[in-house]
Amino acid sequence: MKIDANSLKDTFVKYQNATETGKDEFGKDKTHLEKFTGNDFYAVYAMLGSWETINMKTKSGATKRAIKLHQFGRISNRR
């Protein structure tokens, strides 16, 4: 992953400050703002979505299994 170290640090500092003030830039409820502690932090790429298996009938009448992927856009807890 290509992550700018300074941007990551700035984001981390903003979040840590939000845990102290109870207000973050996304409007997250303060009860869900938990300060990070420790020395090891990792960046992870995640694509949010859900899988669904369905059975489909072919023209010949045979049953085939298909997997559908539902992808979601950005997620935010704004109300």
Verdict on whether the full-model pTM lies above 0.85: no
User: Residue 42 sits in which domain range?
Assistant: 5-71
* pLDDT class of 79 with cuts at 50, 70, 90: very low
Please check whether residue 37 lies inside any domain of the structure. yes
Q: What is the phi/psi pair of residue 68, to 5°?
A: -110, 140
In a domain, 64, yes or no: yes
The domain tally of the chain equals 1
**CA–CA distance, 71 with 7 (Å, rounded to integer):** 27
Do residues 21 and 29 lie in contact, with contact meaning Cβ atoms separated by under 8 Å?
no
Three-state secondary structure readout of 20-46: HHCCCCCCCCHHHCCCCCCCCCCCCCC
Please say if the pLDDT value at position 69 is more than 80: no
pLDDT-derived band at 23 (thresholds 50, 70, 90) equals very high
Residue 76 included in any domain: no
Q: Is residue 79 part of a domain?
A: no
